[in-house]
Structure 1
């Protein structure tokens, strides 16, 4: 099902069978997109939304020298651009990180869903508010944590999000990101990322080999990143820092 991961594992927000069927019926196409492909360019009109079914995607902003800062990372079950329904154009780019599969829902069908079901509208609104909560956490991460803390926080967050949709066992998950991707997420250099990953491995806290992340001491990693999962509104809470 297209919607099997949408809002899965979130507290007090459950899509019922009728709501899932309505979203499924609103899908105009299923699209497979190669890795490293821009889906939406900043400033261009947007007339549809994309629900990520498989793979990983991101939002990013380029500086004047063409250097990229990732401002959001998307996992299966995320609407990558639901906010475009209200905004119509975006100030950032949306792109695939890995090969991805998305369900395309035109804006006029989003409008029809909202008109037909106020409760479903609230749940879709929750999805955009969850995005906003994660953006605030990213601001905290980049503004207050050192390089080690930033990477630790991101790994803890990604583990929690993937666990919610059944793609992590709580300690191990696939993450097909390069060290340069991690650098663009954390606002550091790829050389610095390499040093941090080596330090985490040598201290027996976390390993990242061949796209497999293993949290050997998740509580300690959470402490390093000052990670508290409250902003993710999960049914069950993974590791938190004290």
Structure 2
């Protein structure tokens, strides 16, 4: 008898969705059934190619990935960092052709949800569909905040805002605790996310340390003074919708 393929672990996705509304056992099972077996993607590889026409959406089970766009000269702009529990291209179900790519920033584990199965899920589980729709709306809200940060915030406020955001998103997925989280990203990657040089990123991290608000070394961040960090960032977590509001 051929063994059944392993089921992907969706704990981080369920934890995140459950913050916003209750998720039933039937809905959890439906999410599990729509996903294929887990797959590994090495750091630096594309999970979704820019301009591709994917036939599935991808759940990030572990690791960090990033949405990005490239210019003709090879310059890259990261437009969102994805964390465990994110459906990194759920919008491709309706968008069809991707106007950006998704890159594995670290070694990642992913699972694919075929679009045909997702369509069937939306027809059978309307409440779960609304929760997943909310997830794509929050993605749009994150993009708006990144746009404001890129255009109007100082470099220090920008990087402080990113730290606040990533901490709360990782905490929502059960991946951060006690004001600590892993952030195994290079300064070059952070520079692509912030629109800054690696030298400038290094100076800003040093400045945050000097302000006494974070310890940041060896891919680990500890927030020492959340109130002051949020003050520097002018951070308002409302856009992340981390409170329970039934949909």
Instruction: Give the TM-score range, shorter chain.
Output: over 0.9
For 2:221 and 2:51, how far apart are their aligned partners in 1? Answer: 35
CA contact (8 A) 1:9 1:235 kept: no
Contiguous gaps of at least 5 residues in structure 2: 1-7
Partner residue, 1:210: 218
Once the two structures are superposed, the pairs formed by residues 37-116 of structure 1 within 5 Å of their partners are 37-116=45-124
CA contact (8 A) 1:39 1:94 kept: yes
Kindly tell me the number of residue pairs found equivalent between the two proteins: 236
Once the two structures are superposed, the pairs formed by residues 52-201 of structure 1 within 5 Å of their partners are 52-201=60-209
Partner residue, 2:4: none
Q: CA deviation at 1:15?
A: 2.0
CA RMSD of aligned residues (A): 1.4
**1:121-145 alpha-carbon deviations (Å, 9 max, x no partner):** 1111111111111111111111110
**1:172-198 alpha-carbon deviations (Å, 9 max, x no partner):** 100011011111111111100101111
TM-score (norm 2): 0.92
Q: CA deviation at 1:13?
A: 2.4
Q: Secondary structure at the match of 1:29?
A: coil
TM-score (norm 1): 0.93
* Residues 184 and 205 (structure 1), Cα distance of their counterparts in 2 relative to 1, 3 Å cut: same
**1:68-114 alpha-carbon deviations (Å, 9 max, x no partner):** 11001100010000000001111101111100001111000001101
For 1:222 and 1:18, how far apart are their aligned partners in 2? Answer: 38
4+ residue segments displaced more than 4 Å: none
CA contact (8 A) 1:56 1:74 kept: yes
For 1:62 and 1:14, how far apart are their aligned partners in 2? Answer: 39
Q: CA deviation at 1:3?
A: 2.2
Aligned with residue 2 of structure 1, among 5, 9, 13: 9
CA contact (8 A) 1:30 1:101 kept: yes
